[in-house]
Amino acid sequence: MSNKDLTAETKQKATIKFLPLDGLIKSVKELPKENFFYEGIKENSLNLLIAQAKVGKTTWAENLAMCIAAGHNKYLDKKVWFGENRIVLLFSLEEFFRGRTERNIKQVKYMDTLVGNDNWHENVYASPTDVPRYIENREDWEWMLAQIKEMKPAFTVIDSLSRMHGSEAIEDSSTCNALMKKLKNIVYETGTTLLVIHHTNKLGNEPLSLSNMAGSRVLSQEADSIITLNKTPTGKRYIKPLAYRYADDSCETVQLFTRDSNQWLQSDGHEAESKILREFDNRIDDSNAEKILNYILDFTAGDNSIMIETKELVEKLVNTRHMSKPTLHKSIDKLVDGKVLSKHGRGQYTLAQVNPIIH
C-alpha cells in the first residue's frame, strides 16, 4: 500500500512515537496542577450523577454549579474549586421552565446571602422556554455543541441522560458507547466540565452500585467520575462516590444530607453506609438471623453484587461459637424465605434487599 492510499487518520497515527518512561515522567512534572471542582470531578472531564427519582439529583447539581459561579469555596462541608472562568451552563431537558425557575429563585437568594452580593448572577445561564426536550439526531447534537462553544462555560450540567438516547435502551452497549462518545467529544472540543444527570431504575430498597445502574458496564468504563445519591427506607438521604478515575473513592463513610426550604442541600454528617442500611423499618426478631445479616452487611458494605459463601459464615459465626451449624443453616433459610438474601448456588448468597421483614 502506497502512502497516497493511507487515510489522514492513519498517516497521523503513523507519526506517533513511544517515549522513554523518564521522558514522560519529566513532561508530567512540568504540567500545570490539575484542578477538581468537587472531590473527583476534575476540570475538563465527563461526570455522571446517578440516582432514582425524587432523591435530589438536580438540586445537588444546581447547588454545586451556583457555588462555582459565585466563587463560593464550600458545598456540603467539602471544598469547591473555581477558576477565573466561573460561567456555568444548565441544560434542563427534563423540567418545565416555571417549576425549575421557582426553585432557582430560592437558591439564588440563598447564595446571595452566603457571598454577600449578586454580582455572580451573570455567570449562570439556564435553558430557555423553547429548549429542545430531546437531543436525538445529529442536528440536535450540533446545536448543543454550538451553544457550549458560544457560552464557553467552565462547568455544564445536562439533565438528563435519558433525554439523549431516544427510544434505544441505554443497557444496549452500542447505544451507550455512542452516547458517551458524543459527550466526551463535547468535553474535548469545548474544554468544559460536563456533569450529566442519569436516572436509574427503581431498585426497591437496594443501594445503587456499579452492577445495578442502567448501562452500568459502559458508563463505568467511560465516565471520569460517578456520584450517586440514595434514600434509605427510613428516609435518610446520602451521597456516595461510586467511581473516581482521578481521585480516591474508597472512603468508608457516606455524606448524609437534608434539603432545606431554600432548595439547598445541607450536610447532616458522615456515617458508614453499612450502618445506615441496618436501620430497617421493621425489627428483626430472630437474633441469629440478625447476627448473620449484620455480618453480611459488614462483609459486603451493603453491595448486593458481592457474593458470600456458607463456609465464610461457618468460619466467622459457627467456629467462633456464636451459633451452632444447624442454627446457621436454619437462619440462612429464613433470610432467603424473607427475601433478604438471594441464593445463587449451593452455599452462595448475596443481599437481596435492605428492608427485610422477618417473623
Q: Which long-range contacts (CB under 8 A, 24 or more apart) does 146-152 make?
A: 147/89, 148/89, 148/186, 148/190, 148/192, 149/189, 149/190, 151/87, 151/89, 151/125, 152/85, 152/87, 152/190, 152/192
Give the integer Cα–Cα distance in Å for 270 and 76: 11
On the question of pLDDT at 237 being above 50, the answer is yes
Grade residue 356 by pLDDT with cuts at 50, 70 and 90.
very low
On the question of pLDDT at 32 being above 90, the answer is no
Assign 34 to helix, strand or coil. Answer: coil
Ramachandran class of 266: left when φ > 0, alpha when ψ lies in -120 to 50, beta otherwise: beta
pLDDT tens column, 143-186: 999 999 999 999 999 998 989 887 677 777 788 888 999 999 99
Give the integer Cα–Cα distance in Å for 244 and 223: 9
Grade residue 233 by pLDDT with cuts at 50, 70 and 90.
low
Assign 344 to helix, strand or coil. Answer: strand
CA angle 9, 12, 13 (to 5 degrees): 90
Mean pLDDT of 14-25: 85
Q: What is the pLDDT of residue 335?
A: 87
pLDDT tens column, 321-355: 888 998 999 889 888 887 788 899 889 998 875 44
Q: Which amino acid is at 4?
A: K
C-beta separation of 292 from 317 below 8 A = yes
C-beta separation of 145 from 89 below 8 A = no
Q: Which residues of 340-354 are buried (b: 16+ CB within 10 A; e: fewer)?
A: bbeeeeeeebbbbbb
Give the integer Cα–Cα distance in Å for 108 and 86: 15
Domains defined along the chain, listed by start:
36-276 (3.40.50.300), 287-351 (1.10.10)
